[in-house]
Amino acid sequence: MKIYLDGKFVDEADAKVSVFDHGLLYGDGVFEGIRLYGGNIFRLEEHLERLEYSAKAILLTLPLTREQLSWATCETCRQNGLTDAYLRLVVTRGVGDLGLSPWLCPKPSMFIIASKITLYPQEHYDNGLAIVTVPTRRIGPAALPPTIKSLNYLNNILGKIEAKQFGALEAIMLNDQGYVAECTADNVFIVHKGEIITPSASQGALRGITRGTVIDIAKELKLPLRETDMTRYDIWCADECFLTGSGAEVIPVVKLDGRVIGSGKPGPITQQVLASFRRRVLVEGTKI
């Protein structure tokens, strides 16, 4: 495997960063997870824009221009002979001292990995997930805006650990007010009386690229969609529920906290959205 690392393509064994890199020491950096389908990088421009916005928000200067970022991402796929893959772009603050001060890190570091990812077995796409609500709360927007996709994922990791302790693969995370924010790694949608509903970003949800795609799909299919406050009750009593993410794509949920959602099977609107999403991934993006 070839890894893009600070302007060069190196073997996996040689892809190393310093122990003094602030991405390692403090989680100081930003990243994107992107999918490659049939030689087409899905919504690459949207991902790169979000990376730029995340970097700007934490006062981190990206080492490459948008055009250079696009080329490096595509070339990483070409170097590895891939047509289907999961891509991870990471930009760290770079090497500094043991203090917090980011201005003592003179040069950011960047690497790109192109590999495979399998988050959920196929059976869960066919039959749906059973998920839980975990005790760990999502970090509030006043503390850290959820639109910043930073390297500090400890909050989500704690939620993922708790999900596993409850025997689930994914979990709902609430915000401090008790409203649904998102899952540990995915955005959440419900369907109620023909309307698609999802938490707003102001409640702690990441503005996911796949989430945005589903919003576009709803418009295309002329399905009403609303962003609003959501509680666990809304999910328990929904007709359908599904999760979205670059890794997860679109996956149905049939149970939350031991309560069956709708019929207990993936619903018709979820299946419509999934079918439309799978058509889009081959045509919306950048050819490598």
d(CA 220, CA 235): 24
Structure tokens at 282: 């081959």
d(CA 98, CA 83): 41
Structural contact between residues 90 and 15, judged by C-beta atoms closer than 8 angstroms: no
Q: Note if 149 is an active site residue.
A: yes
Burial (CB count <10 Å: 0-12, 13-18, 19+), residue 22: buried
Q: Kind of pairing, strands 171-174 and 129-133?
A: parallel
d(CA 29, CA 247): 20
Return the number of other C-beta atoms located less than 10 Å from residue 149's C-beta. Answer: 21
Structural contact between residues 98 and 41, judged by C-beta atoms closer than 8 angstroms: no
Structural contact between residues 2 and 11, judged by C-beta atoms closer than 8 angstroms: yes
d(CA 34, CA 114): 9
d(CA 184, CA 194): 26
Give the active site residue among 149, 164, 255, 287: 149
Residues annotated as part of the active site:
149
